[in-house]
Structure 1
Amino acid sequence: MNIICTCFPSPTSISLSTIKLVTKDISLRPYLLSPTRQNVSRKRDLALQAVEFSCPPIDADCLASEFGVDGVTFSGISGSCVIRMALENGSVANVMLPSGLITSFKVPMWHGGTMELLHTAVSEGENGGAVIQGGISLAFNCQNDRGGSWSPNIWALHQVKGTAQESIQVELISRNSECNVEVRHVINLQQDVLISEILVSNASTSALRLMGSFISHLTVSTPEATYAVGLEGSDFFTRPPVLANFSIIPPDFGTRKDQVSQKFWGHIALNKLFLKQNPDDDLKSMTRNIEEEEEEWKGEEKDNYKHLTDKMSRIYTSVPRNFTVIDRGRRNSVVVTRDGFNELYMFSPGSRHKWYSKYSYICLGQAALLQPISINSQSEWSGGQHLHNPNF
């Protein structure tokens, strides 16, 4: 069982003047380098090449004319874009480029209105810009047998299809030519579900190890009123929070206990890497000690109606394919479904915060944090998660 170091680059910054635009569900557009429509295929290739190294301004008008379909709008914001997908039944999702951050998923409710299911927060950064956190993001790392390592953090728009009457699909792409890896993030908005799927293509001559997690912030009235239903019997590991690009972590989560936990997991990760690189050494004693330390941080979920009021950071294994998050305060629920992954990351900031505030959320995601996913040379792998709205 291997452990990943889940530290990723700092959150995306935009100018302060764009805060209201982001919070008002304005959309972003696909990624091209030129506003003209000549040689479109060549421009797409140039855009994908640029994504590997830099992030030039995005031409929203060009992308709107090239990728626009019924129900999809594009808006430029300070060199970035927001793609807004809207169905006729009232379901709406927003995606930012080039970060790939899903900032909004609004759904129709039983009472006739709509409700936001994702939690985002906007704060002022060090340079006076606005930092956006929360939503749904990807925090994955690809590593090959030669020691090459890469994380898909910058995305280009590859394809948009569908209709406002049925469903809309947006496909983002990120690639690394040195590692010969391509990752596609397919976001599918249907009338009662938002599907986020990744497709990893390994074109290198060596096997690839994929580790990381979806990071999904679900907005709640307070964790005190929130329950996870259906996890009874699942094994779990207590683990520090995943520190990814857009993670929201309360400052009071850095207690002494959490710091000890961080040191523990770092110790385990280094020792396991050492064991893997020295298979011929007589390290049975060290292996036994590591396994004993891990046992102290393992458990089994005893409650089928798990109350999320306390601070919690866990990785569940052997979880059911579906489970439900219920918020009694907002009188809504979300059904979470996994596809291709074997682990579930779940984080609760605890209930010692103001209701409906920056820390009124729970974080979860389909994951491969304890055990990497192996992708053979010249092959592909896919996995994802579904957020289903049963309230409509």
Structure 2
Amino acid sequence: MTPFQLEGIMTSSTIHSGFLSPHFIPLSNTRKPVLLPTKTVHRLQCPPPPFVCNISSSKKREPRLPSVAASVWCPPLDVDCLENEYGSHGVSFSGISSGDESCMVKMTMENGSVAKLMLPSGLITSYKPLMWHGATMELLHTSVSEGKNGEALIHGGVSLDLKFDLNGILWSPKTWTLRGVQGSSLEFIQVELISQNVESNIEVKQIITLGEDALSSEILVCNSSDTSVHFTGAVISHLTASTPEATYAIGLEGSDFFSKTPLLTDFSLIHPSFGKIGSRKARGLMDFTGFFSGWGVDQDSERMRKETEEGLEGEEEDGYKNLAEEMSRIYTSAPRDFTVLDRGRRNSVLVGRNGFNELYMFSPGSSHEWYGKYSYICVGQAALLQPITLSSQSEWRGKQRLCNPNL
């Protein structure tokens, strides 16, 4: 079976000759989207949730019954239904292949910038902003392979990985439902997704916004239960690169960090030989659920985690850090904005965050093929070392911005 072919996934970029000056540090100010007086926005509920958080300026939230007067019911992932309801103002829906239960949402701006995301996984597979040379360029790195049963396995892109401790039971939002689309292709396009744990009264929203020069992912967690909840997680972005050898992180000098085993999620893209000083370290690829005590982590994993943490704390000394070496770090005092510069592709990305206090950075190293499967840099706006505590009847917001300063 031939693997799925998705536009923007694993495409080779034209190699431009020449390099940027090492003193060039592109910066950009992201414009906050302003809602336009477009047509009335309907809400898609499949099925309708048992509660909706009433968002206001106060941090305390009172649960209210959902309004059904403006609700439109549509069979889950009925592409024709979604296209009829939301397919305008730069947004379109399409199936991926016959028999597949996923669909692609495409957002297109008037200036040519394009972003794509998949439902129900919520994975952003492509972001092509308009560049300085007048054409668009893919900034995300995504790989498609074939699974054991012939299904498409997709890794990379931009994804959300959260883990909630609900009275000793782990829950992660994995399946997302489209709740609404607003804006227009002239200023911005905004797609809202939702995932819920009905039994625990936890609601997680993703608000994905495409502008002329930026793509942002905003996370809103609402706790309408009677008790506090704790969670960890990150918004993880795989940024494509010619090779990590030609890629630099600018602006991290003086930031404290911890070296950790790579973050392993449903969409992680990690070479099997990463960190292979011995086979034990290769087997040590694991997620960060072990940072919560009493979560059923076995003794061997806990011992390995403690050994890995020993003596791997430091401070970043390089403000123009080359990412050629293998690395997996969590920065605890990184600036809110920093730049990833790829001198091979002659482009840069300004990465910003709000709400999250940590920065996750992963490089597979430069021992792999240029412009190949492992030519990328992974950044994540994160809460991994220090869990977030969300009190009863309250909300939390976090955000990642990928800004294009190359216009």
TM-score under structure 1 length normalisation: 0.81
1:132 aligned onto 2:154: yes
1:74 corresponds, among 93, 96, 102, to 93
1:341 aligned onto 2:348: no
State how far apart, in whole Å, the 1-side matches of 2:108 and 2:403 are.
16
Matched letter for residue 306 of structure 1: K
Instruction: Give percent identity, aligned residues only.
Output: 56
Which residue is equivalent to 2:110?
A: 88
State how far apart, in whole Å, the 2-side matches of 1:322 and 1:172 are.
25
Structure 1 residues 6-17: aligned runs within 5 Å:
16=2
State how far apart, in whole Å, the 2-side matches of 1:291 and 1:233 are.
25
Which residue is equivalent to 2:66?
A: none
Determine if contact 2:161/2:172 at 8 Å carries over to the other structure: yes
1:202 aligned onto 2:247: no
3-state SS of 2:84 partner: helix
1:153 corresponds, among 171, 174, 178, to 174
Determine if contact 2:4/2:144 at 8 Å carries over to the other structure: no
The Cα RMSD (Å) is 2.8
3-state SS of 1:126 partner: coil
State how far apart, in whole Å, the 2-side matches of 1:150 and 1:265 are.
17
3-state SS of 2:94 partner: strand
State how far apart, in whole Å, the 2-side matches of 1:63 and 1:118 are.
25
3-state SS of 1:115 partner: coil
State how far apart, in whole Å, the 2-side matches of 1:192 and 1:21 are.
20
Q: 1:263 to 1:349 in 2, by over 3 A?
A: closer
Structure 1 residues 108-123: aligned runs within 5 Å:
108-123=130-145
Determine if contact 1:240/1:258 at 8 Å carries over to the other structure: no
Determine if contact 2:10/2:141 at 8 Å carries over to the other structure: no
- State the Cα deviation string for residues 101-160 of structure 1 (Å, max 9, x = none): 00000011111111000000111111122211110001111113x223210010000010
Bigger shift: residues 187-196 or 146-155? 146-155
Q: 1:155 to 1:267 in 2, by over 3 A?
A: closer
Structure 1 residues 23-62: aligned runs within 5 Å:
23=9, 44-46=45-47, 58-62=77-81
Deviation of 1:45 after TM superposition, in Å, equals: 4.6
Q: 1:57 to 1:218 in 2, by over 3 A?
A: same
Determine if contact 1:57/1:79 at 8 Å carries over to the other structure: no
1:321 aligned onto 2:327: no
State how far apart, in whole Å, the 2-side matches of 1:165 and 1:158 are.
22
Determine if contact 1:149/1:179 at 8 Å carries over to the other structure: no
State how far apart, in whole Å, the 2-side matches of 1:47 and 1:126 are.
35
1:273 aligned onto 2:273: no
Which residue is equivalent to 2:393?
A: 378
Determine if contact 2:339/2:348 at 8 Å carries over to the other structure: yes
3-state SS of 2:137 partner: strand
Determine if contact 2:263/2:285 at 8 Å carries over to the other structure: no
State how far apart, in whole Å, the 2-side matches of 1:267 and 1:79 are.
30
State how far apart, in whole Å, the 1-side matches of 2:333 and 2:160 are.
22
Gaps of 5+ in 1: 1-14, 26-39, 50-55, 275-289
State how far apart, in whole Å, the 2-side matches of 1:133 and 1:265 are.
16
Q: 1:355 to 1:294 in 2, by over 3 A?
A: closer
3-state SS of 2:341 partner: strand
3-state SS of 2:134 partner: coil
1:97 aligned onto 2:83: no
1:166 aligned onto 2:212: no
Deviation of 1:64 after TM superposition, in Å, equals: 1.4
Determine if contact 2:231/2:388 at 8 Å carries over to the other structure: yes
Matched letter for residue 108 of structure 1: L
Higher helix share: 1
3-state SS of 2:262 partner: coil
3-state SS of 2:121 partner: coil
3-state SS of 1:108 partner: coil
Which residue is equivalent to 1:141?
A: 163
State how far apart, in whole Å, the 2-side matches of 1:120 and 1:90 are.
21
Matched letter for residue 232 of structure 2: M
- State the Cα deviation string for residues 242-286 of structure 1 (Å, max 9, x = none): 11011100121151458349769999947x726xxxxxxxxxxxx
Q: 1:161 to 1:301 in 2, by over 3 A?
A: same
- State the Cα deviation string for residues 181-208 of structure 1 (Å, max 9, x = none): 1000000001100010110001111111
Q: 1:163 to 1:258 in 2, by over 3 A?
A: farther
3-state SS of 1:66 partner: helix
Which residue is equivalent to 1:223?
A: 244
Determine if contact 1:239/1:261 at 8 Å carries over to the other structure: no
Gaps of 5+ in 2: 12-41, 51-74, 295-304
Q: 1:266 to 1:171 in 2, by over 3 A?
A: closer
Matched letter for residue 80 of structure 1: S
Determine if contact 1:339/1:384 at 8 Å carries over to the other structure: yes
Determine if contact 1:220/1:360 at 8 Å carries over to the other structure: yes
1:187 corresponds, among 199, 203, 208, to 208
TM-score under structure 2 length normalisation: 0.78
